[in-house]
Amino acid sequence: MTALSTAALPHLSPNPRGERFPALGRTVGNKPLIYLDSAATSLRPEEVIDAGCAFCRLHDGNPHRGLHTLSAEATAALEDTRVKVAGFVGAPSGDNVVYTKNTTSSLNLVARGLESRLKPGDEILITEMEHHANLVPWLMTAKRTGATIRYIPVDDHGRLVLDALDELIVERTKVVALTAVSNVLGTINPVEQIVRAARSKGALSVVDAAQAVGHMPFDFSALGADFAAFSAHKCYGPMGLGFLVGRADALELLDPLETGGDMIEYVDFSKATWAPVPHRFEAGTPNAGAVVSFAKSIDFIENIGLDEIRAHELEITAYALESLRALVGLNILGPPTAAERGGLVSFTDPVVHPHDMATILDEQGIAVRAGHHCAQPLHRKLGLAATTRASFGVYTERSDIDALTAGILKARKVFAP
């Protein structure tokens, strides 16, 4: 397997990727930027940036609010992109796509929206590897409704323990919520198997797809889930835009999380009724400029091809695992093979604390993430306070991994000369 060709990424000295991805043309201190934090936010290609700027310059009307040309153009762009997003993730139609702020707001919408349908004795099943965005909302929903949280455990290799799945998903189980790809361990979970088990017991399934969409093939309809959530900023798109994708009948089950302008059908001084799905969940003025630019993100991804993107991340991840394992004493979290992982590797060093590691790497122009990655319970289970995470995108090359390993060795020399 070979890495994704960078022939399509025009050369800009000193960094050959900097013309397509402007951030990669800059320096940090006096070092060229090496960006290994794509699991947090992926960099945007030039055409995505340009699309957002063009909207702000020429079409900055309020969608769904006016009869004038700018408003009509903004409305058309918003709804055209909704249909495009549906095609991108395999949803039946644009009506299955709700615009939100990010994955977190999408998951909060589902958790809060289902509260009127939960009661004491009901159970919500999640995994021990969840990001706080797919953990805390369910904790709060359980507290408000009297429902009980149960967990699918994680084994020592970062895989879900599914031997007792039939005992975990029972008639009392009303919701099963899980991540498609762990943002700490990198584990690609058997989502389809778990979704199928949930459906067999009448439970709704919710998938946090933030680390999957845009990085590997993802087909919502084929998956069979009731809901899936993801963010534009992890798919070479803008911050401040997320998506909740839902089956039509599942979306009808949700109560709106926010109320106000544009989500109503009728209001008087004593009552209100809601607009049809998906608009009932989109109170207030949307981030239309981000929506327009994300349409270009989809074009960027589809022009490369998700199979090709996945193959590239797989190759880079395999090389990273091989390189990091050569560093004596380094503890690498998650499954041992790249095939079981998304494009990220988290690790701890026996000499250097993760925060110190990230600081010293940054001095060398290398951007990584350090901390608990919004997954404190998982880190506690693993007996760790923090880890260092390197994560990859279409612009990541083997030379970036070589720089990372050299940077780790330099950090060791600082703390253990």
Domain boundary among 275, 301, 327: 301
Where would I find the beta strands (DSSP E) of 289-400? 331-332, 344-348, 366-367, 369-371, 387-391
Of 274, 301, 328, which marks where a domain is finished? Answer: 301
Mind giving me the DSSP string for 134-165? GTHHHHHHHHHH--EEEEE-B-TTS-B--TTH
Are the C-beta atoms of 166 and 184 separated by less than 8 Å? no
Full DSSP string of 42-81: PPPPHHHHHHHHHHHHH--PPTTT-SSHHHHHHHHHHHHH
Peptide bond just before 120 cis, omega within 30 deg: no
- Asked if residue 10 belongs to a domain, the reply is no
- Whether residues 387 and 239 fall in one domain: no
**SS3 of 175-229:** EEEEECECCCCCEECCHHHHHHHHHHCCCEEEEECCCCCCCCCCCHHHHCCCEEE
Q: What is the CATH number of the domain that holds 388?
A: 3.90.1150.10
Find the catalytic residue in 53, 56, 235, 374: 374
DSSP-assigned beta bridge partners for residue 97: 245
Write the CATH number for 196: 3.40.640.10
158, 281: one domain: yes
Task: Tokens for 165, please give them.
Answer: 């799945």
pLDDT of residue 64: 86
What whole-number distance in Å separates Cα of residue 123 and Cα of residue 298?
37
100, β-bridge pairs: 242
pTM for this entry: 0.94
State which of 301, 325, 357 marks the end of a domain: 301
What is the residue range of 314's domain? 22-44+305-415
Give the pLDDT score at 7.
43
Q: Does one domain contain both 35 and 83?
A: no
Q: How many domains does the chain have?
A: 2
Residue 293 has a pLDDT of 97
* Measured CA distances, 226 to 117, 135, 196, 229, 276 (Å): 15, 18, 11, 11, 18
Mean pLDDT by 10 residues, the chain (417 residues): 43 57 94 97 97 93 89 95 98 98 98 98 98 98 98 97 96 98 98 98 98 98 98 98 98 97 94 96 95 98 98 98 98 98 98 98 98 98 98 97 98 92
| 264 plus 381 within the same structural domain | no
The answer to the question of residue 164 being in a domain is yes
17 forms beta bridges with none
* Confidence (pLDDT) at 16: 53
Looking at residue 7, what DSSP letter applies? T
Which residues, listed in sequence order, are joined to residue 115 by a DSSP beta bridge?
none
Distance CA 60, CA 74 (A): 7
Residue 56 known to be catalytic: no
**Co-location of 247 and 329 in the same domain:** no
